[in-house]
Amino acid sequence: MSSDSVPHGSRAIYPGSFDPLTNGHLDVIERAAGVFGELIVAIVVNPQKRNPMFTLDDREKMLARCVAHLPNVRVSHFRGLLADYLKAQQADVIVKGLRVVSDFESEMSTALMNRSLSNVDTLFLMSDAKYSFVSSSLVKEVFFLGGDVAPFVPAPVLETMTLKRTALKGK
Ligand code: PNS
C-alpha cells in the first residue's frame, strides 16, 4: 500500500466532564485533531457528578470557543453509556489524555470495559509535562480561593469563570 492510499478518515471521540476545560485538555484536543480525520469532543452529562460547577450549556459554549480554530473538531454531549454513543456516532476510537501513573490505573479498566462493550479501542496521549498537575477540580479550588488560574485555562474559560464568580458573589 502506498502512503497515498493509507485511510485517514477515522472519527475519534474525546469524552470528559470538562467542568471546565483546562489547557491540558486543549493540548490533547489539538494534538488528537492532527492525528484523526474528525474529533468529537463529547461532554458527558454524568449523573454521578451531581454538582458540576458549569451548566452543560456553559461547558458547550466554552468548548466551542476554545476549539474554533480547529476545523475537524466539533463539540457535542451525551447521556448514558459511552459505548452506546460510540455506536451512534460510528466512531472508530476513543481518545484520552494521561497525566500521571494514577490516571493509567483507572483508565486501563475503563478502556478495557469500553472495548468489551463496543469493540472500540482507547488511544492515550501523554499530557504535556507542563500540564501534568493541572486538573479541572484543582483549577476550580484555586480560582474560588482567589488564586490566579490564567496559566492553566484558555481565555474563554477564564472569562466564564470570572462571570460565574461575580454571579455567585451577588447571591
Ligand atoms: O473528565 P472525566 O470526568 O474524568 O471523564 C470521565 C468520563 C466522563 C469520560 C467517564 O466517566 C465516562 O466515559 N462516562 C460515560 C458513562 C460510561 O460509559 N461509563 C462506563 C465507562 S467504562
Q: Does position 1 have pLDDT exceeding 90, yes or no?
A: no
Q: Mention every residue, 6+ apart, whose C-beta is less than 8 A from residue 78.
A: 15, 42, 43, 44, 45, 84, 85, 88
Compute the average pLDDT of residues 12-35. Answer: 98
Position 6 scores a pLDDT of: 44
In the block, cell 478502556 appears at 111
Q: Which atom of ligand 1 is nearest to the CA of 83?
A: 18
Find the CATH number of the domain harbouring 66: 3.40.50.620
Q: Grid coordinates standing for 41?
A: 469532543
Compute the average pLDDT of residues 127-149. Answer: 96
- Which residues in the chain belong to E strands, given as ranges? 11-16, 38-45, 73-79, 93-98, 121-126
Choosing from 49, 79, 130, 165, the catalytic residue is 49
> What is the overall mean pLDDT for the chain?
93
Position 171 scores a pLDDT of: 73
Compute the average pLDDT of residues 50-54. Answer: 87
Q: Based on the structure, what is the number of domains in the chain?
A: 1
- Say if residue 65 is exposed, middle or buried (CB neighbours under 10 Å; 0-12, 13-18, 19+): middle
Compute the average pLDDT of residues 101-108. Answer: 93
| Distances in whole angstroms, Cα of residue 130 to Cα of each of 11, 100, 126, 134, 135 | 28, 12, 11, 8, 12
Position 3 scores a pLDDT of: 45
Active site residue 3: no
Range of the domain at 108: 3-169
